[in-house]
Structure 1
C-alpha cells in the first residue's frame, strides 16, 4: 500500500495530515495479513488503526465491541465522515437486521459493529470470502487478569480457528504484561505483533488530595471550570445519587448514573451527557466504556479506585482531543479499608490485594505520580513530569524521629490490637467512650501527641506504614501492628524523615481567573462551540462528532476564511468541509469584523465608561463582561470614581462582617499603609480587593 494513498485516505475521511505514533506501522501490518495486538491509551487514535484499513480493504471489517452505546457513537462518527458503517444487536427488529444482511450480501458495507453476545446472528452470513478484517475492541475484557472481565468475550477464540486466513487486530487502552499474554492466548493469536504505545497522556494533570471535606473541595473545583463537561466516579450507587442531588442544590447541572437504574434511564442520561445537555455525571465505574466524547475536560475520583488499570482508563476519558484537562483523586484510610474488604471476597484475592497495594502507593506517593503510573505499565521515565501535584509542590521533609517513636510505641502499648483511628485517639488523649472504657487513658503513651492535629497524626502513621515500620492486619479488624523494622527506630536510634502534611486550605485562584473566564465567553472558540452545538441539535448527533475542541481551537488560531484554508485544519475532511465549512467560515469572518469594529470603538475609552455603565444600574459582573475586562480592573475604576466623589455604593461589594474585621485590624495593626499586613493578619481569608474596598469606606467615614 502506497504511503501517499494512506495519507490521502487519512485526510479525506478523518481530516488529519499525518499519522500519530504507531498508527501507520499497525495499518501496514494489517495490510500484510498479520494478527496484531494494539495497546494504546484512550485518545491515542486506536480506532483509525482498523477504520482506515477497512475503507481500503475490498470486503467487510467486523468490529466486536462491548457496548451498544459505544457502537452507535462510532457508527454515527463514521457516517459523519462519509464511511458506510452499521451496527447490529439483538434489540433491532427483523426489518432493520434484514436491511443490514442485504448490504453485506451486496458488499455495500465497510464496517459492521457487533457485540460478542450477538455474533450468532451473523454466523450464516460470514465466510472468508466476504470478510477482510476482524477487529476486537476493548480486548482486555477477555482476560480474568484484566480489570473489566466479561465472560462473553471468552468465546471469541473460535474466530481465528474458523477464519484462519483473516487478520485479527485486538485493541485495548490498558493491559499489563499478564493481561497482554492472556489476550493473545485466548484469541488464538500467539504470534500477533504487539504494538505498545506510550501511556503518557501529557495533557492530563494529575492531582491527589486527602478525602477531607470532599464536597466543598469538589464545588470549588467545578466552579473554577464553568461550562466544562466532567465525570465524578464514586464507589457506591448511594454516593452517586447523594452527590448528584447536593450538586443540583448548588445550582450545578449534575445527574447520577449507575447499574441499578432502568436501562432506558441509563441510556437517556448517557445521551444527554454525550450531547452536552448534561454537564456533570456522578457515576459508578459502570459508566464510561461506551463514551467516546472527546471534550470531557475533567475527571474526579470521589473514592480511591481498586487498581491502577481502572484508574488509568477512567482518567483517560478526559482530554481525548489532546487539550489540557484535569484529574483529581480523593483518597482516605476508610477507602483503603473498604476496598480491602472487597478484595478479600474475590476469587483471585491475591491479585486484587496486590493491585490495591499499588493503587495505594500511587495515592500516597511523595514522588512524581506520572512516573509511578507509567512504570506500572512497563514504561520508565527518568525525568519528572511537571504536571502532577507532587512536581508542582514537592513535599518538605523534617526529622520525624520523635513523632515516629511516639506512634510506634503507642501501637506497641496497644498490643497490636487497635486500628489507626484508636491509635491516634490515644496519642491525642481523647476522652471518648472507646478510649476510656478500655482504660487506654492509663497507658504511658496516652496524650503524648496532643500537640499534633488528628489529621497530621493520621498522615504520619500512613507514612510509617509505607516506610515499612508498621502494617495493617486487614483480617483482624484493620489492627495496626509493628514490623520487625520498628525496633530500629524504637531501640537503635534510626532516624525517620517524614513529609510535612501540606496545608490543604482551598483558595480560588486570584478572583477565580475572572478575566480568563470573560475572555473565554467572548472568544471565537465559544462562538464556534455554540455554532457546533446548534448544528448538533439540528442533526441529532453529539457535537464532538462534527468537530472536536482541538479542531475548533485550531480554527480560532488560524482563522480560515476560504475553503482551501479550512481544509488545512486538522480534523476537517472532505465530507465535513462540504457539510459544515460554509457556516463555520461565515462565523469566523463575522467575528473578525466585529473584533475590528470593537477595537476602533475602544480607543479613547477610560474608566469613565465604567462609571456610565454603573450609573445605568449594571452589576460589576455585567460591566466586566461588556467591557471584556476583569472584575478586579472594573473595581479599580469604581474606586477611582469613588475618590473623585462619584456616587458609588462600595458597601454592596463587601460583607458587614469583613468590614468590621478590617476596622478592628486597622486599630490592632497601627494603621499600616500597605495591604500585605492586613492580608497576613487575616491568614489570607479576606482577599486583597475586599481589604482595599473596606479601607476606602473606613477612610471616607473618618
Structure 2
C-alpha cells in the first residue's frame, strides 16, 4: 500500500492528476522494480507518464530514445513546466550547437537532469557513448518502438542498433519499449531485436470509442475539405498529405479560403517547423496541413478532426495519425479520401526498392486497400489488424460503414469454396491468387500450378470480383482463415475454418461497397458547385444583366456569362469578396458590375429564407493562379502567345483558353501587339462590330455570320478576347 500511496502522491505532485489511467500504475511499478517492460498503448492512452514518472522517482537519469526532434522538444518543454526548472529534462540531438551541448552535459553530470532525450542517430556517436558511460542510467525508454521493425510503418534502421549501444554503455540496464501501433508481427520483432522476450507485456485495447471513421471516394477533394473545415470553424484539425508539394498546395487553398492554416513538412527550416507547432498548440492557427512528419508526440488533446487528403501507406500510419484526434476523450472525426490512382502512385514508389522490402510494402499497402474498399465496420477491421477481436455492435455506429445501408449475401457456399481451395492446396496461396483462379484469369502463375485445369478455375466468375473480395476479407476478419505475414501473406485455415468445413452453417456476409469513380486530386476546384440550380433567381439575374447591358450599350454576355450566373444561383454570394470568387468573376468584373447583383441576391436570400451552403465556393489554388499571373506578365512584356505556351509546356489552344479565362474574370489585357500581327485592321473592325450587336458570344455563330472562308476559329477567338477586355473590363 505504501508504494501505491507514494505513486499517487508523486503523480499529484509532478503532473497534477489524482488517478492513473488503465495500466499506467502497473507499468510504472514494473519499471521501478527494474523489469524489462513492453507497453503497447493507443495514442492518447498516457504512454509518456509511464516512463516520465518513474524517471522522476528514480536515482540517476533515464535515457529516452525518441525518433523526432519535434517530439523531444515538446516533451522536454512540458516536463520543465511541471518540474519548475529547465535542468530537469534535456535533449541531445543535432539541433544543438556546441555551447548548448556542453550545457546539457554539465546539467546531466551534476545529477540535476532526470530525463535525457536522445535521437537514435545521436545515440550511436562514439563521443555520446563515452559520455553516457559516465552516467548512472536509471533505465532506458525506447519510444515509438515500432521503428525497429521493417513491418512497422516508420522503419528506422538506427533503431536496430539500440540494444548493441545499450550493452556498450553499461550492464543490467532495464528497458521499457513503448508504441501506439504494433501488430503481433511487429511486437515480436521489437522484443526479439531488443532482447527483451521475457519483458512484462502491457497491451491496452486499440479501440478509441470516441473516434468516428469515414472513408470517402476522392472527388472534388479540396472542395470537400474546405466545406468540412468551414462547417467546423474554430476547431483544431490536421490534414495529412503524402507529398510536400501537395501539402503546400492544400495549405494554400485553405488559406485563400479564409481558413487559418499552415503547412508542415521536412523541407521547411527547423525554426519554421517549430514555430508552426507552437502556433498550432497556442491556437494561433486552426489547421496544420502536413506530411506524416507532423504530430508525433504533439500533446494537443483537442484536435477535433484528422483528414487524410491521400490514403496512407499503411494501417499503422493510418491508426497513429487518426489517433491524434480526440485525445481528451471528446469528439474526433477521421476522414480519409480514397482513390485507386493514389494506390497506383504508392505502388510505383516501391518499384525501385529491394525485393524483400517491396514484398513487405505490397502486403502492408494491400491491407489499406482492403480496409478502404470493405463495407464491414471500420473499427472491427482496425482492431483485427492489431490482433484484437471486436464485435461490431460495440462500434455504436461510429463509422461510415456501420451507419450505411448494407447489402448482404448468403456466404455459406462461397466460403466453403474458398476454405476447400486453401485446404486442398496446403496453404500455398494468398487471397489475390485465389480470387484470380475463381474469376478464371489465366496468369502465368496459375498455369504453372495447373489451376486452370481444376474445377475451381472460373467457377466464381458469375458471382463477380466484388463478392469474392468480400468473402476473403470477412473470412479473415471472422477468423475462418489466418494470414501468414512472415510468408508473403499466404492464407491458411484456422481451427474455426476447419470446424466450418466439418459442419457448415448458414451465414451472411456484407457485400463490399463499390467505390464511386474518383477524379484526380488535380481537379479544377473553381468549378461551380453541385447544388440544385435556383431557376427563379437565375431569371431575375438574367433580367438584371439585360437591363445593365442596355444602360451600358453592351451585349449581355460582356457583363457576366451564363455559367457565372448559374453558379450565383447555387452559391448565393452576398458580398463582394464572395462574388469575386465565382468562376468567371474576378476582381475587376466584380467591382465594375457586381454591386447590383449582390444587392439582388442578398434581398432574394432574406425574402426567401435561403439556407446558403457553407462551402459556397472554393477559391482557386496557387498553382493555377501562378500560371495566370505569369501569362499576364508575359503579355505585358509583349511576348507572343506561341512563345508563352511553349515556355509553359502547354498547347496554343490551352493558352488561348487561359487568356480568355483571365479576361472573362475581369482583367484587362492589351493583346494588340499580337493580334495586329495576325489579323489586319479592317477585319478586326468587322469582327468587333459583330460582337457589339450579338446576343451571344458563340464562335460558331460568328463564323456563320461572318463567313468561315474569310475567318478561322483562332481569329474569332482572339477578337472575342479583345472585345471582352476592352468593353467588359
Specify the TM-score bucket, using the shorter chain as the normaliser: 0.5 to 0.7
Aligned partner of 2:589 in structure 1 is none
In 1, Cα distance between equivalents of 2:261 and 2:443: 39
Aligned partner of 2:319 in structure 1 is 312
Written as runs of structure 1 = structure 2, the 5 A alignment for 1:377-392 is 377-384=386-393, 385-386=395-396, 387-392=398-403
Matching of residue 363 in structure 1 with residue 366 in structure 2: no
Aligned partner of 1:102 in structure 2 is 106
Written as runs of structure 1 = structure 2, the 5 A alignment for 1:252-263 is 252-263=259-270
Aligned partner of 1:342 in structure 2 is 349
In 1, Cα distance between equivalents of 2:463 and 2:81: 71
Aligned partner of 1:234 in structure 2 is 241
Structure 1 residue 74: Cα displacement: 0.4
CA contact (8 A) 2:91 2:117 kept: yes
Structure 1 residue 474: Cα displacement: 14
Structure 1 residue 397: Cα displacement: 5.2
In 1, Cα distance between equivalents of 2:605 and 2:22: 56
In 2, Cα distance between equivalents of 1:329 and 1:243: 15
Q: Alignment partner of 1:322: what SS?
A: coil
Matching of residue 138 in structure 1 with residue 144 in structure 2: yes
Cα displacement string for residues 366-400 of structure 1 (whole angstroms, at most 9, x for unaligned residues): 1111000000000111243121111122324599x
Structure 1 residue 310: Cα displacement: 0.9
Aligned partner of 1:372 in structure 2 is 381
TM-score (norm 2): 0.56
Aligned partner of 2:163 in structure 1 is 157
In 2, Cα distance between equivalents of 1:474 and 1:57: 63
Q: Alignment partner of 1:81: what SS?
A: helix
CA contact (8 A) 1:160 1:187 kept: no
Cα displacement string for residues 514-561 of structure 1 (whole angstroms, at most 9, x for unaligned residues): xxxxxxxxxxxxxxxxxxxxxxxxxxxxxxxxxxxxxxxxxxxxxxxx
Aligned partner of 1:14 in structure 2 is 15
Worse-matched range after superposition: 146-155 or 650-659: 650-659
CA contact (8 A) 1:160 1:188 kept: no
Aligned with residue 653 of structure 1, among 592, 601, 606: 606
Aligned partner of 1:68 in structure 2 is 69
Aligned partner of 2:283 in structure 1 is 276
Cα displacement string for residues 111-146 of structure 1 (whole angstroms, at most 9, x for unaligned residues): 111212223454334348622111111112222222
Structure 1 residue 320: Cα displacement: 1.8
| CA separation of 1:498 and 1:383: change in aligned 2, threshold 3 A | closer
Cα displacement string for residues 156-190 of structure 1 (whole angstroms, at most 9, x for unaligned residues): 11244232222111111112222222222222323
Q: Which runs of 5+ in 2 are unaligned?
A: 411-431, 446-451, 468-509, 518-528, 532-573, 575-601, 613-729
CA contact (8 A) 2:67 2:119 kept: yes
Written as runs of structure 1 = structure 2, the 5 A alignment for 1:443-522 is 469=439, 487-488=458-459
Cα displacement string for residues 259-303 of structure 1 (whole angstroms, at most 9, x for unaligned residues): 333334333333322332222122222222252322221111111
| CA separation of 1:135 and 1:221: change in aligned 2, threshold 3 A | same
| CA separation of 1:165 and 1:264: change in aligned 2, threshold 3 A | same
Query: What is the number of residues matched between the two proteins?
Result: 454
| CA separation of 1:358 and 1:474: change in aligned 2, threshold 3 A | farther
Aligned partner of 2:648 in structure 1 is none
Cα displacement string for residues 403-448 of structure 1 (whole angstroms, at most 9, x for unaligned residues): xxxxxxxxxxxxxxxxxxxxxxxxxxxxxxxxxxxxxxxxxxxxxx
CA contact (8 A) 1:42 1:320 kept: yes
CA contact (8 A) 1:206 1:327 kept: yes
| CA separation of 1:82 and 1:178: change in aligned 2, threshold 3 A | same
Matching of residue 117 in structure 1 with residue 70 in structure 2: no
Q: Which runs of 5+ in 1 are unaligned?
A: 400-461, 476-481, 509-619, 621-648, 660-702
Matching of residue 4 in structure 1 with residue 5 in structure 2: yes
CA contact (8 A) 2:375 2:513 kept: no
Written as runs of structure 1 = structure 2, the 5 A alignment for 1:82-93 is 82=83, 84-93=88-97
Aligned partner of 1:198 in structure 2 is 205
Q: Alignment partner of 2:459: what SS?
A: helix
CA RMSD, Structure 1 to Structure 2 (Å): 3.9
Structure 1 residue 657: Cα displacement: 10
TM-score (norm 1): 0.59
In 2, Cα distance between equivalents of 1:468 and 1:264: 56
CA contact (8 A) 1:488 1:494 kept: no
In 1, Cα distance between equivalents of 2:242 and 2:382: 21
| CA separation of 1:3 and 1:297: change in aligned 2, threshold 3 A | same
In 2, Cα distance between equivalents of 1:507 and 1:382: 38
| CA separation of 1:495 and 1:255: change in aligned 2, threshold 3 A | closer
In 1, Cα distance between equivalents of 2:22 and 2:436: 37
In 2, Cα distance between equivalents of 1:495 and 1:61: 53
CA contact (8 A) 1:398 1:500 kept: no
| CA separation of 1:168 and 1:234: change in aligned 2, threshold 3 A | same
In 1, Cα distance between equivalents of 2:263 and 2:465: 50
In 2, Cα distance between equivalents of 1:495 and 1:317: 33
CA contact (8 A) 1:203 1:319 kept: yes
CA contact (8 A) 2:438 2:459 kept: no
Q: Alignment partner of 2:11: what SS?
A: helix
Q: Alignment partner of 1:8: what SS?
A: helix
Matching of residue 51 in structure 1 with residue 52 in structure 2: yes
Cα displacement string for residues 475-503 of structure 1 (whole angstroms, at most 9, x for unaligned residues): 9xxxxxx9996843556999969567699
CA contact (8 A) 1:70 1:292 kept: no
Structure 1 residue 209: Cα displacement: 0.8
In 2, Cα distance between equivalents of 1:491 and 1:155: 53
Q: Alignment partner of 2:406: what SS?
A: coil
In 2, Cα distance between equivalents of 1:260 and 1:16: 38
Q: Alignment partner of 1:69: what SS?
A: helix
| CA separation of 1:8 and 1:490: change in aligned 2, threshold 3 A | closer
In 1, Cα distance between equivalents of 2:463 and 2:167: 65
| CA separation of 1:499 and 1:349: change in aligned 2, threshold 3 A | closer
In 2, Cα distance between equivalents of 1:466 and 1:654: 61
For the pair shown, the structure with the greater C-alpha radius of gyration is 2
Aligned partner of 1:566 in structure 2 is none
Written as runs of structure 1 = structure 2, the 5 A alignment for 1:385-404 is 385-386=395-396, 387-396=398-407
Q: Alignment partner of 2:83: what SS?
A: coil
Cα displacement string for residues 233-256 of structure 1 (whole angstroms, at most 9, x for unaligned residues): 112222222211221221111222
In 2, Cα distance between equivalents of 1:218 and 1:474: 44
Worse-matched range after superposition: 464-473 or 34-43: 464-473
